[in-house]
Structure 1
Amino acid sequence: MHRFLLTPRWWGINVFVVLAVPVCLFMGSWQLGRFEDRVDTHREATAERPAGQAAAPLDSLLPVDKKTSGRLAAASGEYAEQFLVPERRLDGKTGHYVLTLLKTDGGKVLPVVRGWLPGPAGAKAAPAPPAGRVEVTGALQSAENSGTKGVHAAGGLPAGQLGVIGAASLVNLVPYDLYDAWVTVQTGTDGLTPVPAAAPANTGLDLKAFQNLGYTGEWFVFAAFVLFMWFRLYRREVEAIRDAEAGLVPAEQIPAEPTPAAEAPAEGSAAGAAAASATAPSRPE
């Protein structure tokens, strides 16, 4: 009864199932792994840093990644130019960052967010940075975590203001070799409110993370659907053969089954002799 599984049609169906199910399971497992990675990085990013964690030298934490983002970095040098970064919210209020460039002892320049002030940028004078050589300790951030405002193009702001914190936005404003990172001072000075470190990019349980989880379910459903359709076709084929054997449907409606070579009329058998005599021309008497 099950010899129909050897027909070319069923060979094609079986090969498709054998290939489709592992692919669906692999893709589902991969999407699940992506979701679990986002959960782990979100847990690491939101975990509180140990109290009293010592600051590490800035260069030892570069380039900024998910592990070093938010770590306390130490650098020394002298403050130079200062900029204001408008429309930055803190504790539900709108204000601006005070960003000062630090000429480090190594020669490169590090953007330092010294703090936050309420109100529009430029409404009142920001406190001047300390003169002379300073030691700066702040939470390390990458350029991607600078809270980019799409409406703030570099040329669309008044002089002395900056829309995006990062080397790409500063390279045309100052003639320095810049770090592709910045720090935010965690202790308030000169009346400035310290700015907490932002979570690394692509580490939150956002819509994209739950899309990975949704795709996981879809791929597993696809695998189950392929198996369900194979079983349904198989049951229908078996039921059709049983109905034909019981005389409920004409036998010609059932797909022809492959005939094994062993069942062909053997040479010299009675059936073979009868077929040969029936087809042989009669000899005149």
Structure 2
Amino acid sequence: MYRFLLTPRWWGINVFVLLAIPFCVFMGSWQLSRFEARVQDHRSATEQASSGASEPARPLAELLPVDKSTSGRRATATGRYGEQFLVPDRELGDKHGFYVLTLLRTDSGKALPVVRGWLPGQADPAKAPAAPSGEVTVTGALQASETPGDNGVTAQGGLPSGQTAAISAASLVNLVPYRVYDAWVTLDKGDSGMKAVPATAPDDTGLDLKAFQNLGYTGEWFVFAGFVVFMWFRLLRREVEFLRDAALGLVPDEESVSSPSGV
């Protein structure tokens, strides 16, 4: 009854099934491992961001460039405050407000963006306290430059003078006549009565859309593997039924030359 499995047509079908199933299982397992890696990155980054406050501060130069291992670490830098900008549409807890961002001119010739604190309401220069004068030393959590789309950051266009949408060298270099570090610091304690902005996990370490895409692809690949098995059994069943009907003389002569599997 099952001798047809040794025909060239069924050899091709069987080889395809034997190759397709392991491939689908491998791809599904790989996507699952990517999701688990993102979960682990998120857990590690969150722990690092929360534990960074208890670690001793290190000089800024020792922590650059910012990566997953240095993001959230406490950094210290010395300089003089310069231009000040407001970063609108930033939430702290469940309240809407804005950051007060001041550039710290260092001896290296570059300026370090420093988030001195957060204030509620619409971004208003009159509400933002002036930065301290003279030489100051700041200490806070080191953060990587933002890009539009990260953490709700919007594009730069349409903002009034004195405001910036993203805290990044790419955005600030167009607003000041000197170089800016490709990183920023949020102070441990808010300056001049402002609320401190907590450190956040670095990009590509959160349970974002990409992470859940990996989880979705995992399910898709395992479904594909199940579909291949289902179709193989369906073709096998149709072939067996066709041969049984042919043996009983229930198949018209003109149909007996071809198989119901469609190949």
Please point out which of 141, 153, 173 is paired with 1:148: 153
Compared CA separation, residues 76 and 123, structure 1 to 2 (3 A): closer
Q: What is the CA-CA distance between 1:239 and the residue it aligns to?
A: 4.5
Say whether residues 1:97 and 2:99 are aligned partners: yes
Q: Gapped runs of 5+ residues in structure 1? A: 257-285
Change (3 A) 1:251 1:121: closer
Where 1:190 maps in the other structure, the secondary structure is: helix
Shift of 1:248: 5.0
1:221 is aligned to 223
The AA in structure 2 aligned to 1:98 is V
Q: Is the 8 A contact 1:113 1:182 kept in 2?
A: yes
Tell me if structure 2 keeps the 8 A contact 1:98–1:114.
yes
**1:35-114 pair list within 5 angstroms:** 35-47=35-47, 48-49=50-51, 52-114=54-116
Could you tell me whether the CA contact under 8 Å between 1:146 and 1:165 is conserved in 2?
no
In structure 1, distance between residues paired with 2:220 and 2:46: 29
Q: Is contact 2:46–2:200 with CA below 8 Å preserved after alignment?
A: no
CA distance in 1, matches of 2:152, 2:4: 64
1:34 matched to which residue of 2? 34
CA-to-partner distance for each residue in 1:18-42, whole Å, 9 max, x for gaps? 2321221122112111211121112
* 1:80 Cα deviation from its structure 2 partner: 1.5
Superposition pairs of residues 108-147 of structure 1, within 5 angstroms: 108-122=110-124, 124-144=126-146, 147=152
Cα separation, 2, equivalents of 1:21 and 1:27: 10
May I ask how many residue pairs the two structures share in their alignment? 253
Q: Which runs of 5+ in 2 are unaligned?
A: 259-263
* Counterpart in the other structure of 1:25: 25
Q: How far 1:254 moved relative to its partner?
A: 5.7
Query: Which amino acid letter does the alignment assign opposite residue 99 of structure 1?
Result: L
Alpha carbons of structure 1 residues 147 and 67: separation in structure 2 relative to 1, 3 Å: farther
The one-letter amino acid paired with 2:153 is: T
Q: Give the structure 2 partner of residue 262 of structure 1.
A: none
Whole-Å Cα distance in 1 between the matches of residues 79 and 52 of structure 2? 27
Q: Is contact 2:53–2:188 with CA below 8 Å preserved after alignment?
A: no
Q: Structure 1 length normalisation: TM-score?
A: 0.78
Larger Rg: 1
- SS of aligned partner of 1:228: helix
% identical equivalent positions: 65
* In 2: Cα distance, 1:242 partner to 1:106 partner: 87
Letter in 1 for 2:38: R
The answer to which of 109-118 and 128-137 deviates more is: 128-137
Which has the larger displacement, 140-149 or 19-28? 140-149
Partner of 1:266: none
**Equivalent AA in structure 2 for residue 77 of structure 1:** G
Counterpart residue number, 2:261: none
In structure 2, do the counterparts of structure 1 residues 146 and 35 end up closer, same or farther at CA, with 3 Å as the change threshold?
closer
CA drift of 1:146 comes to 6.9
Q: Report if the CA contact (8 A) 1:241-1:254 is conserved.
A: no
CA RMSD, 1 decimal: 2.6
